[in-house]
């Protein structure tokens, strides 16, 4: 009988300790400790401090003025920054040296207009966008290689 009382007391002690650990006193002290810890300080920054420079050149395929999917993603980022901003943004259309001067001026204008139209669809005020075409007159890269021509088929956002 002495052995069964000893076992019963041991079991009662284990249950008492377990019950004590699950009390709300521990939860309350944790809550109090969290309440005493100040929240993290978040410093406010201006848009210019956090603004990551965006690429300002949009490239086009040969004899095309259609925007590429990757270009659209870039232009959405530009539109987010331009929306509600003061000032005028110039969209400069360019072409490679293939084709006549008149054709390339028209192609550069179509490219710049494609960028403008997309930005307007994204909520940018059309009055803040200026379109100009330089055609083949201001190449980004001199030369007649395909890689040089590809660099010249562009719209520059200024």
In a domain, 91, yes or no: yes
> What does DSSP assign to residue 41?
P
Same domain, 55 and 120: yes
Are residues 90 and 24 both part of a single domain? no
Q: Is residue 41 part of a domain?
A: no
Residue 124 lies in a domain: yes
How far is residue 39's CA from residue 68's CA, in Å, rounded to a whole number? Answer: 45
Are 21 and 63 members of one domain? no
Q: How much is the average pLDDT of 47-58?
A: 73
Q: In whole angstroms, what is the distance from residue 17 CA to residue 108 CA?
A: 82
Question: Helix 69-82 vs helix 101-121: angle between axes, to the nearest 10 degrees?
Answer: 60
User: Does residue 48 surpass a pLDDT of 80?
Assistant: no
Local structure of residue 127 (DSSP, 8 states)? G
Residue 9 domain-assigned (yes or no): yes
Question: Do residues 24 and 59 both lie within one domain?
Answer: no
**Per-residue three-class SS string for 84-97:** CCCCCEEEEEECCC
Task: Give pLDDT tens digits for 9-35.
Answer: 444 444 444 444 444 444 444 444 444
pLDDT at 95: 98
**Tens digits of residue pLDDT in 124-158:** 999 999 999 999 999 999 999 999 999 999 999 99
The β-bridge partners of 129 are: 89
Same domain, 18 and 82: no
Per-residue pLDDT of 79-126, as tens digits, reads 999 998 889 999 999 999 999 999 999 999 999 999 999 999 999 999
User: Which position has the higher pLDDT, 106 or 3?
Assistant: 106
Supply the range of the domain harboring residue 16.
Answer: 2-36
- Supply the pTM of this predicted model: 0.68
Q: How many domains does the chain have?
A: 2
Same domain? 62 vs 8: no
Reported as a pLDDT band with limits 50, 70 and 90, residue 50 is low
Q: Are residues 140 and 115 in the same domain?
A: yes
pLDDT of residue 85: 87
pLDDT band at 51 (very low <50, low <70, confident <90, very high): low
* Judgement on whether residues 142 and 100 belong to the same structural domain of the protein: yes
Q: At CA 131, angle to CA 60 and CA 72, rounded to 5?
A: 40
Residue with tokens 């201001």: 138
Q: Are residues 71 and 104 in the same domain?
A: yes
Residues 83 and 8 in one domain: no
User: What is the Cα–Cα distance from 119 to 123, expressed in whole angstroms?
Assistant: 7
> Is the separation of the CB atoms in 58 and 67 below 8 Å?
yes
More confident residue, 112 or 39: 112
Note whether 19 and 73 are same-domain residues.
no
């Amino acid at each position: 009988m002495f052995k069964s009382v000893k076992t019963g007391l041991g079991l009662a002690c284990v249950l008492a300790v377990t019950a004590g650990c699950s009390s709300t006193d521990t939860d309350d002290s944790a809550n109090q400790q969290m309440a005493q810890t100040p929240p993290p300080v978040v410093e406010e920054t201006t848009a210019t401090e956090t603004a990551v420079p965006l690429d300002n050149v949009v490239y086009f395929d040969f004899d095309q003025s259609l925007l590429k999917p990757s270009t659209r993603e870039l232009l959405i980022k530009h539109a987010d920054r331009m929306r509600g901003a003061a000032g005028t943004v110039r969209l400069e259309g360019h072409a490679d040296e293939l084709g006549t001067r008149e054709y390339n001026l028209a192609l550069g204008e179509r490219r710049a207009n494609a960028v403008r139209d997309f930005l307007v669809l994204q909520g940018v005020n059309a009055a803040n966008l200026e379109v100009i075409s330089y055609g083949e007159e201001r190449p980004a890269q001199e030369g007649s290689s395909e890689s040089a021509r590809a660099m010249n088929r562009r719209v520059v956002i200024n």
